[in-house]
Structure 1
């Protein structure tokens, strides 16, 4: 079958352009249960050579998008197809094309897709599949749950992000050779490259509290520096993290202050001093798997930076062992991020609760952050050594009370693709710790990892397991800590969790068993079922015991398009709500909340959705509880590229008798910039010490030709090595993030430029260094031109441009009688149409001032005049 034909610009942009393939897929087709698939190979198994078709009824609610692929942060030279659906808010993925891009063996049977992975067989059942034009699609979260992967459609990168530990167990691929390019724009040796600040001001009960967080980073010599600063504007200031990272190929050094986390059995501790790491596979140890501030990829969930996606303008709440430890605002682009949370116990169970804007009731979604056995597996033949020494005292933090020396050493090795081992020694708080363990892939029996540790004549042990066979899956997490292990008089505690179940993409049934003993929470033991199901396309049900064994449940029914009824319970709160879409931009939500501690509240909130990812939104509503009315007003917008604001006034009668003790006014600001000599560009600050850098491109508005506004360049693409990696904003700026160190070819996508503009430098070779941003300025010149019709009989004749008697340009008339001449400066000219025998068949005057001129036709008299 023939592949879809793309315009030349789209062909050049390749996998990084989100291409609407000209296929509108019917909402009814997307929503309807999939027909019974016939056994056989997938039509799209060979890659992007597959059709996109319009549904039979002609309605459109979903677009087929051809997007790039990022696997554990690394670009793959393949595309995948995604349905960008509006009916149920679930993006859907072409299954066969996805498996082919990952190199997974898959087959399509009559009842399901069956996919072989290193940790077992994944099954995507027929009930979850939408078939359109012989292509099978399934929702991203269904595919991710079946394969044990995290899938996210990143609109900013026009790519599908795939993250999972088992993806790295394949043999190392040969390193791609890069062409050696001369450097036109060198990377900075010392600068401030990135700046992120968050400020929250809250006023209530006669008191105003302010908290700020600022993170700075940039280039320094052969490495990059990073600093994090807290200030409450009331005398409490601290720099709790700072340092200089030096990368030496297979080794790297870190000089400064950092929170060190080695394993889930060892305590985390601050270290001000020096760290050194070495690996024979630096692309794995120091590359895309690095999380938070770590300099070696440990892939530990607890204590590291936690980030994800949620309702724009909403709230993300972090809970450890059922207790709220931090809250943050979900940015208007849908992303939230918690900086590293210190002081959490090594065995903490972390949950993220996500709340909608203009609501502080029951969360719309609760996600658990857990450790996985497969995180302990290394690629075969890989080894990593990591050591450090220094003091626990932070000399830049006056509030720091820790004293004494600290140090550690850790070795990890992948014996083969199925077996990895590790060992660690550490000294902190005057106590010595030692641990050792191994992780093994047992194929159909799953992946298991076990560790033992010793300190203070007491021991600790951990066993993690995960696996699946067909529709059956299992998870295990067992931890034991003896008395005195974490210090004199530390209590004995244990936490054993087991889950065994059966799953399909639309149905997951399991039994959750838990037995724990905690000095603060007491002893608890339970065995309870858990359910997650979508019995119909418009019905969703879930129920699962939380950390303490109390059920968190949610049920949702969408009887009509734009109408949703929901019921939920979480952490002692129950909620019933009705949400109604009003047009394309407004939602009206009516809710009843019952709180175990405070009572019942009724509310109605009108919410305006943002027009785009950087648009503005607002919510306004009435609240009623305890025979009193209150109100909520909530609004947010991007003040300028990179600067977001949110303002909220809330008087919630559920928590008080009068407005004086319940009214809370809050203002939050979030600034996220790439810093360049020419100014600030919307950025994406990252504390991750990965081997990536960025380019900040811009066009100086003051240097544009007269009559050209920089805002007219919004949406013009910026090419990196031939692929579109960013677009200019209203200020003529674009950040090109996550680029590998080296020299890259960078150019403007001239096809999207106004026709009268041309770059002064077509392509620049720009150097990128890890941890820093290189600034690049594009210059544009006004180069005008003209086009017109000369007649089909003039095909092959010549059109000349004369300045006086001097010819400055010429072109041939094409086969259908048209001509076009580009690259002319402003001025007055004469156009001549020269026939094949050399005589001038027609002529006209031409004046170029500000714009490219069309319809400059060269008409001829009925009897051609002789050439003088």
Structure 2
């Protein structure tokens, strides 16, 4: 019997022993119990806290109830342990037992280690300390006595791609299922409608992705849904193909090669070749869509640290550009952050605690990292393109003339990388040459010089490093009049920081800035910065913003669930109190001063309602400048992949707007052969593919059987679970051949899968359909008795078909109980055979669509039969 199935049956048997001890036998467990029933592993109800107890509890995963049961073991000392096997299946984690007895869990945020002291073996089942899970996974895992549920809030979505999964080798050789040659595989649409003081505006943005021949296609377009101009703006339309060391793109995409070069729209062809595709191509493709990711932008790669499981929010010019979850080792990384040449726009990262989207813990300003620009010795890359300047299918971005470019990068040695670029846009030429170098203890540095055909020049210097507790970073960008375009004036932008860390809790530095930006503003200052964590629940920091004004931040959590904060950022200062009310609600009271708009106080209540739709809502009152207002917000998922959000705001600091009402609908689907599945479209060029399909008899859902939550394994790891209709979708798979199979542990007891693992081809930008046929395999259980109802032990029980072939057999145990599994539907003869080979009892059995319990056999009803 399978391990997890065996655990479930053992739990069911313990319940049966409480309800009817005289009729329980290990061969015939009772039907599945109610999900919130409490029982003891000792076979009798025990006073709370006197002995260990095993509870069968319902998991609530990321605030949604899961249709499954978990085994929870409560120790007399009050500690809670959960079945490790059940938990890893629920959370979609890989696990590996180490030689020292510890367990290593593979998560989307890195590996987590559970020590041997965190584990407990009980009757063949391994349990793990719930508190240790919370600590190791940077998650919230706790048993809620009131709801009799284990509430698990993870800082990731189970089934999403993990770094360890992406590093797994892709198989080669023949395939069982080939990728489609033409398809629409991913579709994302977002519609936003806003009504302001009687004026309604509505816009829509769309992204479509699919397979076509040996490559994949992508289309981005937007349009108005209100007003007189309903025209369609085509942002990108391209076809891309990967072939080992090369990449080809045909269509229209934006090209951005270097901070010292003007970016431009190109309709034509792009081609890249490298002798090190694993190093050059595996880095994130640029947001603009170019084939070869080039990380020489001053803010192209941003790395930092924060609370594990928390959120890092990238802000570009004061607006949120991207968010990501902080890994379990406390690191975050944003790649290919866009920054126009010479921009004096602040790029910052706001860091939040896990589960918090209110006031950030801190706001870090970013800096360049010259080390990102280096290649290994001997690695080289060629990248060129040519075509029309502008987007021919977008009247607002037609451009003029032609455009062409060529870039060559080479690792000259382990310390030096050379770079040369030349481009021509509408008859105007520019070129850049430079090198990135690693000087060991002196840090990494990169220097570039640009020149146009009129003799105007530009210069860039980047540097960063660390030695012991000391660190430093520097960025210098400078260009002459008319270098970027005829309208631009001379510009320079210098930023440098040097400082020291005093242990993990104190960091001091000195920041120098000297900038002259296009709008004529001049910035020049040298100021200190400090970040201090004197206690785990207290953080204070002060740091000059881009223009030299200070940003302050203070956070204090006097007790769990309560936080006091005081911040100043930009023209906004605020102080607030946030109080958690249970696990799903929060009350926020905030007072803020806006130097431009005025003062305002607010009290907002947030609530998340667990369930299929995942309803979240907020309601609050606002008061400022002698006027009152309100905020109301509600969001829910109408169906997997389709969500809606309705907002209403009357801001007392913007009385002219009246009440602003906004409605947004987001459809984010993977278009699978079995229907629409949740989520698929990403923001950059598509480098990955996916797998989708359905399980059932012939790929069809079996009525009356629950086909949800069945694990789908890709390359041996759980990557998805089926929905209520038996459908599944696995995203973010690298191109190649993958091994796909079902984990039969999650199937209903009546169903079995006998198909071997499939070798499935995955192609970038497309979904390959893989269906699994299931065989209906049933069974029966009962008791063999004799005269007076006495139990008969150790007799063979046979299930015989119409052709007198034995299809299943068992032996009665000491209580007379028997069980036969794995039989196809049909009409059978159930018989008991004595030691002399004669049939001592028999009856007819019809198996249709479910397991049969209580099938009794009695020898007193008939005499022996040959």
Name the TM-score, length of structure 1 as normaliser: 0.75
Q: Judge conservation of contact 1:287–1:690 (CA < 8 Å) in 2.
A: no
Alpha-carbon distance change, 681 to 541 in structure 1, aligned in 2, over 3 angstroms: same
Which runs of structure 2 are paired with 1:500-519 in the superposition (5 Å)?
Answer: 500-503=498-501, 504-519=503-518
Question: Secondary structure in 2 aligned to 1:477?
Answer: strand
- The answer to whether the aligner puts 1:716 opposite 2:710 as a matched pair is yes
Partner of 1:415: 412
- The answer to whether the aligner puts 1:811 opposite 2:809 as a matched pair is yes
Distance in 1 of aligned mates of 2:293 and 2:515: 30
Which runs of structure 2 are paired with 1:847-866 in the superposition (5 Å)?
Answer: 847-854=846-853, 856=855
Q: Judge conservation of contact 1:302–1:346 (CA < 8 Å) in 2.
A: no
Q: Judge conservation of contact 1:406–1:428 (CA < 8 Å) in 2.
A: yes
Alpha-carbon distance change, 62 to 442 in structure 1, aligned in 2, over 3 angstroms: farther
Distance in 1 of aligned mates of 2:386 and 2:445: 32
Distance in 1 of aligned mates of 2:709 and 2:762: 24
Question: Secondary structure in 2 aligned to 1:549?
Answer: coil
Question: Secondary structure in 1 aligned to 2:412?
Answer: strand
How many Å apart are 1:381 and its aligned residue?
2.9
How many Å apart are 1:278 and its aligned residue?
0.5
Q: Judge conservation of contact 2:161–2:732 (CA < 8 Å) in 1.
A: no
2:476 to 475, 478, 490: 478
- The answer to whether the aligner puts 1:726 opposite 2:723 as a matched pair is no
Q: Judge conservation of contact 2:264–2:390 (CA < 8 Å) in 1.
A: no
Q: Judge conservation of contact 2:557–2:564 (CA < 8 Å) in 1.
A: yes
Q: Judge conservation of contact 2:170–2:736 (CA < 8 Å) in 1.
A: no
- Deviations 1:450-486, CA, capped at 9 Å, x for gaps: 2222223122222222222222222221222122321
- Deviations 1:234-253, CA, capped at 9 Å, x for gaps: 42531021111122221121
- The answer to whether the aligner puts 1:558 opposite 2:557 as a matched pair is yes
How well do the aligned residues superpose, as a CA RMSD in angstroms? 4.7
- Deviations 1:612-651, CA, capped at 9 Å, x for gaps: 7971200000111122211100111111111121110000
Gaps of 5+ in 1: 11-52, 71-77, 85-89, 98-131, 141-151
How many Å apart are 1:829 and its aligned residue?
2.3
Which runs of structure 2 are paired with 1:630-649 in the superposition (5 Å)?
Answer: 630-649=629-648
Alpha-carbon distance change, 432 to 337 in structure 1, aligned in 2, over 3 angstroms: same
Q: Judge conservation of contact 1:154–1:160 (CA < 8 Å) in 2.
A: no
How many Å apart are 1:679 and its aligned residue?
2.2
Partner of 2:581: 582
How many Å apart are 1:265 and its aligned residue?
2.0
Distance in 2 of aligned mates of 1:81 and 1:796: 44
Partner of 1:380: 377
Tell me which moved more, 627-636 or 820-829: 820-829
Distance in 2 of aligned mates of 1:138 and 1:445: 36
2:252 to 245, 253, 257: 257
Structure with higher Rg: it is 2
Which runs of structure 2 are paired with 1:99-118 in the superposition (5 Å)?
Answer: none
Distance in 2 of aligned mates of 1:501 and 1:794: 83
How many Å apart are 1:762 and its aligned residue?
5.4
Distance in 2 of aligned mates of 1:622 and 1:188: 54
1:290 to 285, 289, 303: 285
Question: Secondary structure in 2 aligned to 1:674?
Answer: strand
Partner of 2:798: 800
- The answer to whether the aligner puts 1:400 opposite 2:412 as a matched pair is no
Aligned residue pair count:
743
Tell me which moved more, 825-834 or 393-402: 825-834
Partner of 2:446: 449
Question: Secondary structure in 2 aligned to 1:420?
Answer: strand
Q: Judge conservation of contact 1:80–1:94 (CA < 8 Å) in 2.
A: yes
Partner of 1:227: 219
- The answer to whether the aligner puts 1:689 opposite 2:705 as a matched pair is no
- The answer to whether the aligner puts 1:178 opposite 2:171 as a matched pair is yes
- Deviations 1:125-177, CA, capped at 9 Å, x for gaps: xxxxxxx999997979xxxxxxxxxxx964334676599xxxx9xxxx9x957
Question: Secondary structure in 1 aligned to 2:188?
Answer: strand
Distance in 1 of aligned mates of 2:738 and 2:764: 13
1:267 to 239, 262, 266: 262
Alpha-carbon distance change, 341 to 639 in structure 1, aligned in 2, over 3 angstroms: farther
Alpha-carbon distance change, 327 to 139 in structure 1, aligned in 2, over 3 angstroms: closer
Question: Secondary structure in 1 aligned to 2:511?
Answer: strand
Partner of 1:33: none
- The answer to whether the aligner puts 1:771 opposite 2:773 as a matched pair is no
Partner of 1:606: 605
Question: Secondary structure in 1 aligned to 2:771?
Answer: strand
Alpha-carbon distance change, 703 to 457 in structure 1, aligned in 2, over 3 angstroms: closer
Distance in 2 of aligned mates of 1:603 and 1:61: 41
Tell me which moved more, 260-269 or 55-64: 55-64
Partner of 1:146: none
Alpha-carbon distance change, 851 to 251 in structure 1, aligned in 2, over 3 angstroms: same
Question: Secondary structure in 1 aligned to 2:846?
Answer: strand
Partner of 1:539: 538
Partner of 2:820: 821
Question: Secondary structure in 2 aligned to 1:396?
Answer: coil
- Deviations 1:729-773, CA, capped at 9 Å, x for gaps: 234322111223233332322211111123474544432111111
Alpha-carbon distance change, 508 to 310 in structure 1, aligned in 2, over 3 angstroms: closer
- The answer to whether the aligner puts 1:662 opposite 2:658 as a matched pair is yes
Tell me which moved more, 57-66 or 426-435: 57-66
How many Å apart are 1:193 and its aligned residue?
1.0
- The answer to whether the aligner puts 1:192 opposite 2:184 as a matched pair is yes
How many Å apart are 1:557 and its aligned residue?
1.1
Q: Judge conservation of contact 2:783–2:812 (CA < 8 Å) in 1.
A: no
Alpha-carbon distance change, 499 to 60 in structure 1, aligned in 2, over 3 angstroms: farther
How many Å apart are 1:266 and its aligned residue?
1.7
Name the TM-score, length of structure 2 as normaliser: 0.75
Q: Judge conservation of contact 2:203–2:224 (CA < 8 Å) in 1.
A: yes
Distance in 2 of aligned mates of 1:761 and 1:316: 43
Alpha-carbon distance change, 845 to 253 in structure 1, aligned in 2, over 3 angstroms: same
How many Å apart are 1:79 and its aligned residue?
8.2
Alpha-carbon distance change, 728 to 317 in structure 1, aligned in 2, over 3 angstroms: same
Tell me which moved more, 781-790 or 476-485: 781-790
- The answer to whether the aligner puts 1:497 opposite 2:495 as a matched pair is yes
